[in-house]
Chain A
Amino acid sequence: MAALLQHPCYEEERLRRVADKLPCREVQAGTLLSVMGGPEQHSFPSIFIYGHRASGKSHVIHMLLRELELPHATVSCVECVSVALLFEQVLLSLFGCDAASLLPRSPSLSDFVRIYRQQCSHSPAVQTRYIVMEKAELLRDMDANLLPALLRLQELVQDNVTVILLSEIVWDKFRPNTGCFEPLQLHFPDYSKGELQQILAQDSHPSYSAELYSSYINILLGVFYSVCRDLRELRHLAALNFSKFCEPLEEGKVKESDTHKLWRNIEPHLKKAMQTVYLREVSSVQWEQLQQMEEKDTGAVRGLSAHAHVELPYYSKFLLIAAYLASYNPARTDKRFFVKHHGKVRKTNFLKKHEKTSNHLLGPKPFPLDRLLAIFYSVVDSRVAPTASIFSQISSLVTLQLLAQVGHDDQIDAPKYKCAVSLDFIRAISRTVNFDIVKYLYDFL
C-alpha cells in the first residue's frame, strides 16, 4: 500500500506515516504527491480537486502539507465576506502579519499581487508555497477577475506558488465565459461501503474490542448506507448509538460473540434514528436523553415537523385561503366560483379537458393584489371594512413567508404575490374556519 505514496524527495518513513493517516485515499494522495513534486521543484500553477462532501479532500491536502512541512495557506471562501479578508489571510499565513498589514483599505487584486511580489523579493520561495481554497465554488460570486487570476497566480507573482481549489462541484460549472487557464483536475470519488467500514472501524471504543466495534459499524452501515454516505455524519451516528448497542453487554445478557442478538437489539433502534436524529427532527442531546429514558415515554419528545400547526388571526386565515385560491385557480374561473348568479356555464365548456394539467403540479402562480382582495371579500362570511390592518396583515404574511412577493417593478401600485403554503396546510387552516376549500379549487372539480 505504501508503494503508492513514493517520492524520491521525501524519506520513506515519513511517507509511510502520512499514508497511515490517509486510509483508502492512497491513490489520490499518490497522484497529488507526484504532481506536487519535491519541495523545491516548481509545481503546476493550479490544481482543482472535486468530490462530494466528506470524501477526504481537505483531509488529504492538509495531511500532506502538514506532515511534509510545506509552507501553505488555507482559506475557507465562505468566511471571506470580502476579498480583503481573503488576501489578508493568504498574506498572513505565508509571510506573517507584517505583510498583511501592508494591504490598503479595500484592496484590489493588483494590490495583493504587488504586496505579494514585494514580500517575495524579500524572502524568495525555497519550497513551493501552497494556497488552499476550500469551498471554491463561492469564488464565482466574488469579483470576476479573481478566479482567473488565482488560477495563474504563479505567473503573476513570479513565485513558486500553487493554488489548490477544493470544491464539491465539477470544473465545468466554474469556467468563466471569457476563458481562463485550465487547472489540473483531480476527482475524489465517494468512499465505497467497504472503505467506509474500514475507516469507521479504525476509531474503536477503548473499552471494547476492535472486532465488536467493527461488527457494530457493519450493522450501522447496513441501515444507513442507503441514505447517507457522509463520513462525518456516519461517525456522529455511530457515536450516538454505540451506548445503546453495548447495553445488553453491560447488563451481561449477551456475550460479545453473539452478533445476531446484538443485531436484533440495535436494528429497530437504528431505524428509528434514521427517521429522527439523522433528519435533525430531534437533536442529538435529546436523542441521548431518550435512550436513557427507556421506551415508555419516548412519545414525549416530538420532532420539529410534528409542530406544523400555525395559529393565525381570523382574517389572516381568510387572506391566506384567498391567496391560495388565487394562486391555484385560473383567473377566468373566478366568476364561476365567487359570483352568485354567474349565469349558466356549460360544464363541458368550462372544464376544458386538454388543459386539465393539475395546477398543483405546476405550482403557485402569481396574482395581483386586487384579485386577492376580491376573492377575500367574497370568501369571508361577514362584511369586512378595508381597514389598514387588513393590508398590514398581507405584508406580515409575506414576512412570515406564507406569501411570497414576486416581481420587482411596480411594487407600490400593483404588487403581485404567490401563495407559499402547501395544500395540507391550507386545508388545516380552512378547517378551523369551517371553509371547504376543496370545493373552490379548480383542480378538484
Chain B
Amino acid sequence: MSTSSVSKGCFVFKPSAKKKKRTLDVGDYFIDGCEGSGNSELRFKLCQSLWDKMKTETEVLQDELNRKILDRLLEFAGRPSSTFQHGADDWAARMRASEIPTAALVLGVNVPDHDMTFQSLSDLLRQSVTPHVASVQAKECGALKHLMQRVLERLMGTVVSVDEEEEGDEEAEHASTQLHNKRVHCSLGTLCDWYKSKTKRSNNGTPNKKRSSHVRDEQPQPPVVIIFKDLEAFNPRVLQDFILICSRYVEHLPLMFIFGIATSPSTIQHILPHSVSSLLCIELFQSLSCTQHLSTVIDKLILTPQFPFKLSGKVLQVLVGIFLYHDFSVRNFIKGLQLSLLEHFHSQPLSVLCCRKKEALANVLQLSHQDLESVRQLPSFRRYVERQEPQEQVNLLTDDTHIKGVCQKLIKGLRKYHKNFYPILRCLHTLTSSLPKYPLGKQIRELYILCLEKNVWENEEYQSAMQLLRMLARDELVASLQTCAEILKPVKAKKMRNVLDQLEDLLVSGETAANGEEITSPEKGLQKKTDLFQLQKTLLEMKESRRSKKMSPFEILRNEAVDFIDSLVRCYLAPPESQPLNEVCYYSSSAVVRRHLNATPRTSIQTALTAACSTCCATGGISNAAPDICIVHKLHLECGRLINLYDWLEGGHLEIEYVQTTCARKMPDDDNAVFIAVSELEFLGFIKSTKQKTDHVARLTWGGC
C-alpha cells in the first residue's frame, strides 16, 4: 500500500470490504494467466459448464458399465448366508463346515479406477442390503490390530459415535481417565455384542412394522460386509490371522468379505494357505476390461457431435498412448481430457465460440476487433480467404461486420461437418472392422485418428480395405450395410437422411439381385482326373473366361455399393484441418499435454545440467549464471562407476580456476564450492557415498560423455 504522504509515519488503512471478501477461487486462477483476457470470464464459464456436462456423462457411463457386476454382487450379498441362517434342524447345514462367503472381485490392474467402483459398491450395499459395510486398504493395516481397529471403527463408528475410546487401546499415552468398565476392546467379540444389540434394537424399535413384514423369517440379519480394497498389497500373515479370527465368530456374526483383486484370482491361493482358504466360500466376479471401458468412454465423449470441444489427432494419440502404454486407467484418461479442455479454453482466445450453436452465434457478434484479428490469423481461415474472390478477400480482411457474418456461417458449417462426420465414421468402421487383418484398425479410435490426421482415402490401407470390400460375400456385405443403416437412422441431419434413403435402396435392390442370381459352379470342369499340365491349362482357361464373363447382378451392385461408400467417405470424412475455424473447437498442442501428464523429471534435470554446461563450453567462458554443480556434473560424467573424490576435487579446482581466470568470477572458497556441489549432486541422485573404497563415491547413472 502506498500513500501520497511525504513524511514517514503510521497510516491507517481500512481494509476495503470488497477485497477482503474475495478469496481466489478457480476462476480467478483461470482468468489470471489467461491469454486475451477480454473474454476470459465468459470462457471460464463455458469451460465449466462444458466440463460439468462431460462429467455427468462419464458418471452415467460409469454407473451403466458397472451395473451388471454390481447387481450380481448385491445379489450375492443379499443371499442369506447358508451357515448362519439355517436352523440346527437341517442336516446338511449342521454337517457343513461354516464358511465365510467371499466375493473375489477381479478389477484389473488399473488401480486408480477402483476407488470409484468401491465407492459405488459400498453406497449401493448401504442402500439396499446392509448398513454394516467397512472397507479397508492395505496401507492402513500394517498389523493385525490395526486392521481390527479400522474394521471396528468403520462398522461401529458410522452408527455410534459415542465410544471413541476403543481406538485408544494401544495408545498408552492417552491418559486412562475413562472408566474402566466402559472401555471397549479391539476384538471381534466386541463387534459381536454390538451387532447383537444393534439387530435387537432395530427389531424392538419398530415391532409392529417388522412383525407384519417379516412374518416368515423372524429375524432379518443384515450381513456385515468387509471390503478389502487391494488384496495383493495386504500382508499375508495379517490377512490369515484375521480370517482365522473371523471364522471363530461366523456362527454369531453373518460376516462377508469382498476382495478387490488387481491381477488374477489365483493370488488368493498364493496369499492364503489351504487351511485358511478352506474357511472361505469364494465366488468369482470379473469386471469389464479397462480397454472396453475406454472404448465406451471415447465413444460417448469424443465420437459425438454433442460436445463442441474436440481433440486433435495428436492429442488423442498422446492420451490413448498413456492409457495403453502406461497405466490402463480410464480415470486418468478423463483427467487428461479435462486438462486439455482447460488448456484449450485457457490458451485459445477464440474458444468463446466453442459452445452450443445459439450461444456461439451470439458470441460471434460480441467479438472485439482484436479477436477478429486473431480470427484472420488462423491458418484455416487464411486458407479459406485465399480460396475466395479478390473482392471478397478484401472484404474479409477489412470489414469487421462482414467477417462476423462469415464467421457465423462458418460456425454453422463446422457444426454440420461434425454432424455428418461421426455417423459416416461409424459406418466406415462397421464395414472395415470385419475385414481380415484390420487394414483400418480394430478399434474405431484408430480409424478416427487416421481420419483426423489427413485425408483417409489417400491411405494405402484405405485402398486395400476398399479392395477387400469389393470381394465381400453377399450376406456379410448386406449385414454390415444393414448395421450402417441402423447407425444412420437416429441421425437427424438432412444429408444423412438422403444417405440413408440411398443405402436402403441399395439394400432392397440387393435383395432382388440375390433372388435373380444364378448359381455357377466353376469346379465342374475339374472333376475328371487330369495331369498337372492339363490342370494348369484348364485353370488358365477358366481364369480367362471368368475375366471376360459378364459380372453377375450382385457383383455390379456390390461395386455400386462400395463406390457409394467411397464417395461418402470422400465427401464427409475430410480431416478437420480442411474446415475453416476448426481451431475454435480442436485442441492441438500435444506437447503441453505430454509435458503435463507424462513428465520426464530425469531428462529435465539432465538437460538443465548439461545445457548450462554446453553454453559455457561453446562460448569459451562460463557465464556467471552457470552454477558449480554443472561443472561437477560434467566432470563426473567422465568417471567410471566409482569416483575418487580427490581427483574430482582437483579437476574441480582446475576448472574453477579456469573459470576464474576467464571471467573473473568471485569464488570465496574453492573446496567448499566443490563439496557443496558434490552434495547437491548426491541429493539429486546422481551419486551416493559408498563403503567399498575410502574417499570414493559411487555413480548411480551410467553412460557419459
Which of A's residues lie within 8 Å of B, judged by CB?
53, 76, 78-79, 81-82, 84-85, 88, 97, 101-106, 203, 205-206, 232-233, 235-236, 238-240, 242-243, 279-280, 283-286, 304-305, 307-316, 370, 374, 385-390, 393, 396, 399-402, 410, 412-414
Contacts and interface: CB of A to CB of B under 8 A. Distances in A.
B326 A313 contact: yes
A304 B265 contact: yes
A388 B106 contact: no
Interface of B: 82, 91-92, 94-97, 99, 101-102, 104, 106, 108-109, 111, 143-145, 148, 169-170, 172, 174, 176, 180-181, 183, 185-188, 230, 232-233, 241, 244-245, 248, 262-270, 274-275, 277-278, 280-284, 286, 289-291, 322-328, 598-603, 685, 688, 700-702
A157 B650 CA distance: 74
B287 to A, nearest CB: 12
Given A106-B172, A312-B109, A236 B95 contact: yes
B108 A311 contact: yes
A233 B276 CA distance: 12
Contacts of A238: 95
A75 B93 CA distance: 27
Contacts of A284: 96, 99, 281
A280 B101 CA distance: 12
A82 B265 contact: no
A295 B180 CA distance: 61
A106 B170 contact: yes
B12 to A, nearest CB: 51
B286 A307 contact: yes
25 contacts: A78-B241, A82-B145, A103-B180, A106-B172, A205-B91, A235-B95, A235-B97, A284-B99, A304-B269, A308-B266, A310-B109, A311-B109, A311-B328, A312-B109, A313-B326, A314-B324, A385-B600, A388-B598, A399-B233, A401-B232, A401-B267, A401-B270, A402-B263, A413-B685, A414-B688
B529 to A, nearest CB: 45
A23 B109 CA distance: 51
B187 A315 contact: no
B181 A88 contact: no
Contacts of A385: 598, 600, 603
B326 A310 contact: no
A74 B8 CA distance: 84
Contacts of B185: 84-85, 88
A206 B95 CA distance: 12
Contact of B181 (A97, A304, A305): A97
A78 B245 contact: yes
A282 to B, nearest CB: 9
Given A307-B266, A310-B109, A280 B601 contact: no
Contact of A396 (B111, B241, B268, B290): B111
B187 A79 contact: yes
B266 A305 contact: yes
Given A236-B95, A315-B325, A385-B600, 9 more contacts: A79-B187, A236-B96, A236-B97, A280-B274, A310-B264, A314-B324, A387-B326, A401-B233, A412-B685
A307 B600 contact: no
B543 to A, nearest CB: 37
Contacts of B241: 78
Contacts, number: 171
B265 A389 contact: no
B232 A387 contact: no
A66 B274 CA distance: 31
A239 B176 contact: no
Contacts of B265: 304-305, 307
Nearest to A104: B176
A350 B99 CA distance: 56
Contact of A82 (B170, B230, B291): B170
B109 A280 contact: no
Contacts of A233: 97, 278
Nearest first, the 6 closest Cβ-Cβ pairs linking A and B are A239-B95, A81-B145, A236-B97, A105-B176, A304-B265, A389-B326
Contact of B244 (A78, A235, A374): A78
B222 to A, nearest CB: 19
B432 to A, nearest CB: 24
Contacts of B111: 396, 399
B109 A79 contact: no
Given A85-B187, A400-B262, A79 B328 contact: no
A279 B95 contact: no
B1 to A, nearest CB: 43
A76 B602 contact: no
Given A233-B278, A239-B92, A400-B263, A79 B324 contact: no
A286 B283 contact: yes
Q: Tell me which of A97, A206, A240, A284 has the highest count of chain B C-beta atoms within 10 A of its own C-beta.
A: A284
A370 B109 contact: no
A392 B155 CA distance: 34
Nearest to A315: B325
Contacts of B325: 313-315
A70 B177 CA distance: 37
Nearest to B686: A413
A304 B95 contact: no
B148 A242 contact: no
A393 B702 CA distance: 21
A310 B267 CA distance: 11
B150 to A, nearest CB: 12
A235 B599 CA distance: 59
Nearest to A314: B325
Contacts of A103: 180
A88 B322 CA distance: 55
A103 B104 CA distance: 41
A313 B109 contact: yes
Given A389-B326, A393-B326, A206 B91 contact: yes
B109 A316 contact: yes
A354 B420 CA distance: 72
Contact of A313 (B106, B283, B327): B327
Contacts of A386: 600, 602-603
A389 B598 contact: yes
A309 B286 CA distance: 12
Contacts of B600: 385-388
B324 A313 contact: yes
A102 B325 CA distance: 61
A345 B458 CA distance: 50
A312 to B, nearest CB: 6
A370 B230 contact: no
Given A85-B185, A304-B269, A414-B688, A239 B274 contact: no
